[in-house]
Amino acid sequence: MSDQLPVSLEGVPQSLVDVAETFGLQVVFLLMEHFGGLDVQFPRNPPDDHPLVQALGQETGREVSHFLTGATIYIPHARGKTTQRAIMKLEKAGLDRSEIARTLGISQRHVRRVANAGGKSDPNQLDMFSDGE
């Protein structure tokens, strides 16, 4: 876990405030740890082998799923920045963007932004073909 996690409700990401108020910060921490950077869809009755049940336990996993039935919620992560170079390397290795997000523990949105920019979103990265201007 990261030391960037919220310590009170004021630090909880907006998408998870209702979950924190209803189930507590520990459930939010578990969601961020297991699903950080992903859009998660909450089924009405998840089976025992569903990732939510696996991460939160049977009782809590089912209660959270029932509470959020049908919703798709972005679960932010609490990790530091990952370099564009790592994203581009994994994309060249043939991983799809959701696999890259899971591998690096970052959001699919960030992977998409960096990959669509061709890795040039880093202002400190020099362009090999630039004429210096």
pLDDT in tens, 6-45: 556 777 888 889 999 999 989 998 998 899 888 999 999 9
Cβ atoms of 77 and 36 closer than 8 Å: yes
What's the one-letter identity of residue 31? L
Residues 6+ apart with CB under 8 A from 128: none
- Which one is predicted more confidently, 80 or 16? 16
Residue 76: pLDDT band (50, 70, 90) is confident
